[in-house]
Amino acid sequence: MTFQTSHPILEVQDLTLTFGGVKALNGVSFSVAPGSITSVIGPNGAGKTSVFNTISGFYKPASGVIRFDGEDLAGITPPQRAAKGLARSFQNIALFRGMTVLDNIKLGRHCHLKTGPLAALFYSPAARREENELRQEIEERIIDFLEIDHIRKSPVSALSYGLQKRVELARALAMKPKLLLLDEPVAGMNREETEDMARFILEVRREWGVTVLMVEHDMGMVMDLSDHVVVLNFGQVIADGVPATVQANPEVAKAYLGSGDIHSLRERFQQAAQVRRSA
């Protein structure tokens, strides 16, 4: 599959982020093509989640530019970024455990609701109509797509870890994203759950037309799903390209293995991919 790289949906240029004088990110630059699945990988502490938090607006960079759909995101709050079509999941599940699956998913659409607080408080005809339309769309499209109809009335606290991850993806899809940021979407999952999530990510891109930017440690999944891979180490980009190019980069091997042995790195990635495919 080919992509239009002249007008990326996301551009990160010379991004620098500091905490108490320590540079968590140091001149990070990369772009995400529309319709692609791009993965950000690297050893623990490389700065992957810091990149996500900066793109989402939770961290303010010391310098650099982030453009989404051609617009500079400087000064734009996280809710405003969500309303523009930038949605994300979290490394640690961020759901309301006492609420039902359906109510958690509905919260994802909050940034797009047109009914004002007063109309919602008194449950006006407009508010009632908007909620009914929202519920119908969620139940007929998102819940059906992610195969969670059987748990839609269940409290999140009663669900397995894998199903909670799926609900979090559902809430992100309810935000009507153009770009979906997935922070370790299969962390802690068993093989069957990982395979299901990988399938959903591919279908989100294919059927929904959503661009995906993903941080993930499962190298088999990364190399199988990704069109483009960005490798971070100590807050800097050390490699950037298609999976095959990244696997052949000695700097990547050094970051992961402590040496520049690309053959060992390829073997490690290939073994991870074989394990995933045989699951």
Alpha carbons 41 and 233: distance in angstroms, whole number: 9
Over range 185-213, report the average pLDDT.
92
Burial 223-247 (b: 16+ CB within 10 A, else e): bbbbbbbbbbbebbbbbbeebeebb
Of the two residues 96 and 219, the one the predictor is more confident about is 219
From CA 173, how far away is CA 11, in angstroms rounded? 22
Structure tokens at 152: 């839609």
* pLDDT score at 202: 95
119, pLDDT greater than 70: no
State how far the Cα of 248 lies from the Cα of 70, in Å rounded to an integer.
32
How many Å apart are CA 23 and CA 167, to the nearest integer? Answer: 34
What is the pLDDT, as a whole number, of residue 45? Answer: 87
More confident residue, 118 or 126: 126
Average pLDDT over residues 91-116: 70
Residues 131, 136, 141: CA angle, nearest 5 degrees: 130
Count of C-beta atoms within a 10 Å radius of residue 35: 17
CA distance 7 to 32: 9
- For residue 129, the model assigns a pLDDT of 65
Structure tokens at 22: 């320590």
Please give the pLDDT value at position 85.
92
* In the predicted structure, residue 1 carries a pLDDT above the cut 50: no
**Domain at 1-85+177-279, CATH from 3.30.70.20, 1.20.1270.30, 3.40.30.10, 3.40.50.300:** 3.40.50.300
**DSSP per-residue letters across the chain:** -----SS-SEEEEEEEEEETTEEEEEEEEEEE-TT-EEEEE-STTSSHHHHHHHHHTSS--SEEEEEETTEE-TT--HHHHHHTTEEE--SS----TTSBHHHHHHHTTGGG--S-HHHHHTT-HHHHHHHHHHHHHIIIIIHHHTT-GGGTTSBGGGS-HHHHHHHHHHHHHHT--SEEEEESTTTT--HHHHHHHHHHHHHHHHHH--EEEEE-S-HHHHHHH-SEEEEEETTEEEEEE-HHHHHT-HHHHHHHHSS--HHHHHHHHHHHHHHHHH-
- Residue 32, judged by CB atoms within 10 A of its CB (0-12, 13-18, 19+), counts as buried
Given a contact cutoff of 8 angstroms between Cβ atoms, the answer to whether 46 and 217 are in contact is no
Of residues 97 and 242, the one with the higher pLDDT is 242
Query: What pLDDT was estimated at residue 104?
Result: 85
Tell me what the pLDDT averaged over the chain comes to. 83
Mean pLDDT across 73-98: 85
Domain boundaries, the chain: 1-85+177-279, 98-173
The answer to whether 65 touches 58, Cβ cutoff 8 Å, is no
- The residue among 161, 139, 143, 159 whose CA lies nearest residue 99 is 159
pLDDT of residue 215 exceeding 50, the answer is yes
69 vs 94: which has the higher pLDDT: 69
Cα Dmax for the chain: 66
pLDDT of residue 273: 59
Predicted confidence band at 2 (pLDDT cuts at 50, 70, 90)? very low
Q: What angle do CA 180, 201, 271 make, to 5 degrees?
A: 120
> Average pLDDT in the 234-263 region?
82
115 compared with 11, residue with greater pLDDT: 11
Q: What is the pLDDT of residue 120?
A: 41
Quote the distance between the C-alpha of residue 127 and its chain's center.
30
The model's confidence at residue 247, banded by pLDDT at 50, 70 and 90, is confident
